[in-house]
Chain A
Amino acid sequence: MEKPKAHIDYNNPVISIRGVAKAFEDFAVLRGIDLDLFQGENLVVLGRSGTGKSVLIKLVSGLLKPDRGTIKVLGQEVTEISEKELQELRIRIGFSFQNSALYDSMTVRKNLEFPLVRNRKSITRKEIDKAVEEVLDSVGLSQTINQMPAELSGGQRKRIGIARTLILNPEIMLYDEPTAGLDPITCTEINELINQVQQQYHTSSIIITHDLTCAKETGDRIAMLLDGQFQRVGTFNEVFDTNDERVKPFFDYNFIQ
């Protein structure tokens, strides 16, 4: 699959991370990382399990607090803003969870309505229905509207999870392992959806994965997280054009021609 050309503004970083460190107990996961995500860009963060990739996007969304460093999102310093400001900022960020995190007690419709009715106070019933139908249509799952999450396949759950974040028209998308646990065909469909979201909603995205096919098909830039720091950042070919023994096995295992 050829990645559609993205319109990236390299003078306008929407996320700026400087010197961020995070440790759990005595284990330092992130050791002073620097990273920029530019307007309109899909940035893939690659790394082995347990290297802090998911921690990184949880820090960006304010779910976790860094031990040190600064994280500026859409011009606001996440670690310094008030609870109310953080809540408002989060509406502008979509977060797609690894296991979709759909609310199992609600139908697909209620799942999609949930963030909408709580963040758009004056919205009418008609507007809600229209937004739900539109967003479901854009992920190609209109027929699932009255189903419960337990009745959906893994791929469908991922799509509904993405639709639930898109309903608020976010400016930034954070994808946590979007293709984990899916078959190759569904992975390709999810990769296409990520690119479609970038084009259709003009989002800037961080995509956390260890799936090189996903990285190659969706990423405008790749950042390789090793030993708590970004060791290699660049295009797919730039990152893997190396003899670094920590990077090469990654490519060899996934083996993409």
Chain B
Amino acid sequence: MEQLNSTSSPARKKRPKIVQTIVDFFSSIYNIHLFIVRFFREAFVPPFEFKEIVRQCYEVGVRSFTLITVTGFIVGFIFTKQSRPSLVEFGAQSWIPKLVSIAIMRALAPLVTALIASGKVGSSIGAELSSMRVTEQIDAMEVSGTKPFKFLVCTRVLATTITIPILATYTGFIALIGGYLNVAQNEGTSYSAFMEEVFKPLTFVDFNASLIKAILFGFTIGIVGCYQGYYSNKGTEGVGKAANGAVVTAMFLVFIEEVIIVQITGNFR
């Protein structure tokens, strides 16, 4: 098993708790950095595990599909419903489709998808790899001359990176349908007229920014889930910790990335 840069080595010195916390924090950032570098070093070098990537894509998609469908629809419906009173007050209800499309396609669809995937997929990856570590399945792969990192980590990270943008696009369209139902309920607008209005304000930058965001979110969820599970080392207790750590860390990073990308893409509009 490859050794992590650990602060709990024999040479570990007794430090005040606050200092130890800071050291542990930077140590884990360094380790995640090594983990990401290793992913890029191994993921794109043959032999490729195509079958396993496809299986993982299917797992990620199926695991989140129902929840994303329901959540996407509700987000679109509620957002439209809540935006209506303010726009009606200014007699601007005709702007509702534009507002809904910009909010959903630019921000809500990738964000909602990523948050749901963090909970469903991230935790499951963390728990699965962690239990494989606890039951020595990862060691078993290693001693049989195979590369567990490539088979377990690279495939899962690639699967989330590929599947989450697809799911985010799907969430966007489901949310628009939710929005349309609310609009149709109140204004009786036809579906085609609504969709025409929806796509008018969207630009190439919006689609690209949304896609890049979803790719980055997918990569983050995969990497964090795999990192937490792959290096879990506290027995069965570690399985729960890995699942929990995968969700919390991935959600936190998703929000940070959202803020950064919004700032960057704002400059291109």
Contacts and interface: CB of A to CB of B under 8 A. Distances in A.
Which bracket fits the contact residues of A? Answer: 20 to 34
Contacts of B132: 103
Contacts of B139: 58, 63, 95, 97, 101
Contacts of A97: 136, 139-140
Interface stretch (A38-46, A85-93, A204-212, A219-227): A85-93
Q: Give 7 nearest A-B pairs by CB, closest first.
A: A115-B144, A101-B140, A91-B145, A101-B136, A95-B143, A118-B146, A90-B145
Question: By DSSP majority rule, is chain B's interface helix, strand, loop, or mixed?
Answer: loop
Contact of A115 (B47, B135, B145): B145
Nearest to A64: B1
A104 B47 CA distance: 23
A63 B144 contact: no
A165 B141 CA distance: 11
A168 B144 contact: yes
Which bracket fits the contact residues of B? Answer: 10 to 19
A63 B142 contact: yes
A86 to B, nearest CB: 9
Interface in A76-111: 87-88, 90-91, 93, 95, 97-99, 101-104
Nearest to B142: A63
A115 to B, nearest CB: 4
B143 A25 contact: no
B144 A88 contact: no
Contact of B3 (A65, A87, A90, A102): A65
A183 interface: no
Interface of B: 1, 3, 8, 10, 12, 47, 132, 135-137, 139-147
Interface of A: 23-26, 58, 61-65, 87-88, 90-91, 93, 95, 97-99, 101-104, 114-115, 118-119, 121, 164-165, 168
Contacts of B142: 63, 90
B52 to A, nearest CB: 10
A102 B140 CA distance: 8
B135 A119 contact: no
Contacts of B8: 25
Nearest to B3: A65
A165 B142 CA distance: 12
Nearest to B134: A99
Given A25-B8, A90-B143, A114-B144, A63 B135 contact: no
Nearest to A92: B145
A160 to B, nearest CB: 12
A67 to B, nearest CB: 8
Contact of B145 (A26, A88, A99, A103): A88
A23 B3 contact: no
A125 B12 CA distance: 51
B145 A114 contact: no
A176 B88 CA distance: 73
A119 B145 CA distance: 7
B215 to A, nearest CB: 27
Given A25-B8, A25-B10, A64-B1, A99 B135 contact: yes
A121 B188 CA distance: 63
Contacts of B47: 118, 121
Nearest to A87: B145
Contacts of B137: 101-104
28 contacts: A23-B10, A24-B10, A25-B8, A25-B12, A65-B3, A88-B145, A91-B145, A93-B143, A95-B139, A97-B136, A97-B139, A98-B136, A99-B135, A101-B139, A102-B137, A103-B132, A103-B140, A103-B141, A104-B135, A104-B137, A114-B141, A114-B146, A115-B145, A115-B146, A118-B146, A119-B144, A164-B140, A168-B145
